[in-house]
Structure 1
Amino acid sequence: MDRNIRTTDDVLRLLDGLFAPEADRWTADGASWWDGFYADRSKQVPFFVAKPDENLVSYSARGLVTAGRALDLGCGPGRNALHLASLGFAVDAVDLSPTAIAWAEERAREAQADVRFHCGDAFTLSGTELAGPYDLIYDSGCFHHLPPHRRISYLSLLDRALAPGGHFALTCFAAGGMGSEVSDADLYRDARLHGGLAYTPESLRRIFSDLTEIELRRMHDEPTESSRFGEPFLWTALFRREALP
């Protein structure tokens, strides 16, 4: 008989266990699942292309974000991290998968881009490794793979790592486009995430209500020949943390 719950972290780990084996997709033990996912680079996966997100390109072009320190959460093969580096950002990029990080580092060498890649769980990597505060935290596809209880960890990460006046940008599954629309409570009853969670604009505004919304829209559908990545089944959102008085 186990009676070991005494901290919030204990509760979070207990809830992680309810989703095994899907928990491998967001915990430090998830490297093997994602390594398998990234092993075949020839797979027809939309975001395997070496193109930055169209919304990220747009933020810079419109002057909504300017160069500073950036953190790319769930960087995968590094396409957005490399774009941020090309804009003059000092970039930290983190992913669970050693295979993804190796691919990203290879791309960075080819592009002669200066990016600090980290392999591990962004929730548990030390402040020395992820040396914020960051002027921009960017997430393209990580958030929608988290179970509801790990939003607490995610918001805590933003709270400690995002600089006052800094920006948080997100792309995630859009309800009606892709992802599970099962309620949070039913996810625990099913003990499954169904491949990723869909969000509505209202739910994103509520979750990130401590930040100021700058823009929230569907990602533009980019043609194959475009230099930018864009799929309309995703939301794109840009928020700002207000500066201290």
Structure 2
Amino acid sequence: MDRDIRTVDDVLRLLDGLFAPEADRWTEGAAAWWDGFYTERDKSVPFFAAKPDENLASYLERGLIAPGRALDLGCGPGRNALWLAAHGFDVDAVDLSLAAIAWAEERARQAGPGAAGAGDRVGGVRFHCGDAFTLTADSTSELCGPYDLVYDSGCFHHLPPHRRVSHLALLERVLAPGGHFALTCFAAGRMGSELPDAAFYREPGLHGGLAYTPDSLRRIFGDLEELELRPMRQEPADSALFGEEFLWTALFRRPA
């Protein structure tokens, strides 16, 4: 007889098992899936292009954010992390997928010394492969913050509902007072599953990712001050920026 539930972490791990019964934790199953996804680099995937999100560039251009210490969650091949580094940010970038991190480090080396790969924090990026929730919870880790900017481009909508608790706890731990949290995620009616949260536990699986409405994002991140929430601007293929209209973009600030 198992009676192992004692803490919130125990509950989260139990629910993780519904989404990855073949692994010890949901993150392990997700890492294996994303490794396969990023190994096929020649696929026609819009965000494989080495260019930053249009909203991120817009925040800096309009003075809504300023260079400082940044954490890129679910960095993928590093397109936003490298752009931030090139614009004066000191960047830590995290992804579950070793294949994604390897690709990001290749791009960093190709970009030159100003955006070097692992081990270089002098105006560059340090890439980390692992679970950001665990890595940032270790008080001895260099990822424990504080960060002036936490950026999440496409990670949040691939989390099972219960892991929003972990996401919010991460922001509480590492986001500096007065710091900014920026997000892009699937927009309801345009991309992603609109099933209610409970349905994901009746028939586990993320159905390609969860869609969100502006009201749901405001409710989830209600402890932060909303600065902007809008659809991402569609960018043409030859643009220097990434933009797809099926995404929401949001910028929040932690009260000082």
Q: Which of 200, 203, 214 is residue 216 of structure 2 equivalent to?
A: 203
Letter in 2 for 1:175: A
Q: Contact 2:17–2:25 (CA<8 Å) still a contact in 1?
A: no
SS in 1 for 2:132: coil
Q: 2:126 aligns with which of 100, 116, 119?
A: 116
Distance 1:27 1:96, change over 3 A: same
- Which structure's relative contact order is higher, taking Cα pairs within 8 Å and 6+ residues apart? 1
Quick one: which amino acid aligns to residue 60 of structure 2?
S
Q: Does 1:14 align with 2:32?
A: no
1:136 matches 2:146: no
Structure 1 residue 20 displacement after superposition: 2.2
Match of 2:229 among 207, 216, 227: 216
Gaps in structure 2 of 5+ consecutive residues: 116-123
CA 95–46 in structure 1, closer or farther in 2 if over 3 Å, else same: same
Query: Contact between 1:24 and 1:31, CA under 8 Å: does it hold in 2?
Result: no
Letter in 2 for 1:178: M
Q: Would you say 1:153 and 2:163 are equivalent positions?
A: no
Q: Is the 8 A contact 2:19 2:26 kept in 1?
A: no
* 1:25-36 mapped onto 2 (5 Å cutoff): 27-36=27-36
Change (3 A) 1:218 1:208: same
Contact 2:180 2:251 in 1 (8 A): yes
Q: What amino acid sits opposite 2:199 in the alignment?
A: D
**Residue 209 of structure 1, CA deviation:** 0.2
Runs of 5+ in structure 1 lacking a partner?
none
Deviant stretches of 4+, over 4 Å: 21-26
Q: TM-score, normalised by structure 1?
A: 0.96
Does the 8 Å contact 2:22/2:29 carry over to 1?
no
**How many pairs are equivalent?**
243
Aligned AA (1:108): A
Matched-pair identity in %: 77
The one-letter amino acid paired with 2:92 is D
Q: Which residue of 2 aligns with 1:69?
A: 69
Partners of 1:22 and 1:180 in 2: CA distance: 23
Contact 1:221–1:231 (8 Å) recurs in 2: yes
Q: Distance in 1 between matches of 2:212 and 2:26?
A: 18
1:21 Cα offset (Å): 5.4
